[in-house]
């Protein structure tokens, strides 16, 4: 099966501290993959995910998308198809609706259009009514902010989600809302895939079929969860 994303000897080094953050890593994410990565804090999990998202430039190696290196001109399209969600999402001032409309103001997405029906359906999966759209972003709880950030990505119909401990700071109910959204997104199209970095081994096993482990910048495992 062809890989959606592939890394070849991808590595990162902190030159200032002369520290290796990510050892040369070969990795492939295929359609239908649900991958989790666990490991201690500072082991390189987030370093690897941010490199996959093209948020931090690797020291060496490369990321391939559909078997091709990613040119600078392709990065905006890549980031709309390969969506990264951090532990602490950044929202703009305004309402929930303002935040969900915001991506379509970006140059790379101006040919696409906001669809209220899509957003309303996603809100329903997270147990939110349409009235939630009118809430001010500054009044949202951490869990509500994460739901908004996730829906902001899911409405773009991404091929891949890169989830960097998205529920680590959330209460159990909010964590379930996030998990339900991701389950619904994945079930809707079996060609999608995600990588979920988690500090919670039970969650990692529950939300993945392939469990990898990161230690001292080395990614290993590739066992069926």
Query: Does residue 98 form part of some domain?
Result: no
Note whether 167 and 178 are within 8 A (CB): yes
pLDDT at 223: 45
Query: Does residue 39 form part of some domain?
Result: yes
pLDDT at 15: 82
Residue whose pair of structure tokens reads 């994460």 in the numeric block: 146
Q: Is the pTM of this model over 0.75?
A: yes
Q: Which tokens go with 144?
A: 């509500």
Whether the predicted pLDDT of 149 surpasses 80 = yes
Query: Does residue 70 form part of some domain?
Result: yes
Would you give the end-to-end CA distance of the chain in angstroms? 20
Q: How many angstroms separate the CA atoms of 215 and 172, rounded?
A: 27
Q: What is the mean pLDDT of residues 3-13?
A: 95
Query: Does residue 138 form part of some domain?
Result: no
Full 3-state SS string of 171-195 = CHHHHHHHHHHHHHHHHCCCCCEEE
Query: Does residue 23 form part of some domain?
Result: yes
Q: How many angstroms separate the CA atoms of 192 and 174, rounded?
A: 23
Q: Domain containing 71 — which CATH number?
A: 3.40.50.300
Whether the predicted pLDDT of 199 surpasses 90 = no
- Segment of 2-6, 32-36, 176-180 carrying the highest mean pLDDT: 32-36
Residue whose pair of structure tokens reads 């079929």 in the numeric block: 209
Q: How many angstroms separate the CA atoms of 148 and 128, rounded?
A: 10
pLDDT at 108: 82
Query: Does residue 198 form part of some domain?
Result: yes
Indicate the average pLDDT of the chain. 92
Nearest in space to 152 (alpha carbons), one of 112, 77, 96: 96
Structural domain count of the chain: 1
Query: Does residue 171 form part of some domain?
Result: yes
Confidence of residue 224 (pLDDT cuts 50, 70, 90): very low
pLDDT at 225: 42
Write out pLDDT tens, residues 95-145: 999 999 999 998 888 888 999 999 999 999 988 999 999 999 999 999 999
Query: Does residue 165 form part of some domain?
Result: yes
Q: What is the mean pLDDT of residues 60-83?
A: 93
Domain that holds residue 56: 3-88+153-224
């Amino acid at each position: 099966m062809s890989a959606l994303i592939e890394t070849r000897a991808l590595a990162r080094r902190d030159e200032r501290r002369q520290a290796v953050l990510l050892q040369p890593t070969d990795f492939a994410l295929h359609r239908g993959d649900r991958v989790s990565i666990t490991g201690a804090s500072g082991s390189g999990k987030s370093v690897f995910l941010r490199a996959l998202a093209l948020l931090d430039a690797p020291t060496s190696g490369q990321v391939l998308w559909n078997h091709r290196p990613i040119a600078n001109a392709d990065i905006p399209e890549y980031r709309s198809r390969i969506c990264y969600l951090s532990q602490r999402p950044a929202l703009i001032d305004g309402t929930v609706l303002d935040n969900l409309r915001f991506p379509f103001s970006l140059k790379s997405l101006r040919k696409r259009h906001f669809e209220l029906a899509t957003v309303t359906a996603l809100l329903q999966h997270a147990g939110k009514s349409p009235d939630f759209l009118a809430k001010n972003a500054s009044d949202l709880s951490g869990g509500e902010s994460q739901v908004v950030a996730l829906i902001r990505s899911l409405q773009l119909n991404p091929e891949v989600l890169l989830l960097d401990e998205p529920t680590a700071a959330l209460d159990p109910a909010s964590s379930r809302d996030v998990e339900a959204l991701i389950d619904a997104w994945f079930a809707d199209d079996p060609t999608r895939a995600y990588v979920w970095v988690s500090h919670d081994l039970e969650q990692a096993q529950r939300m993945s079929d392939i469990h990898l482990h990161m230690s001292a910048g080395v990614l290993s495992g590739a066992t069926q969860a």
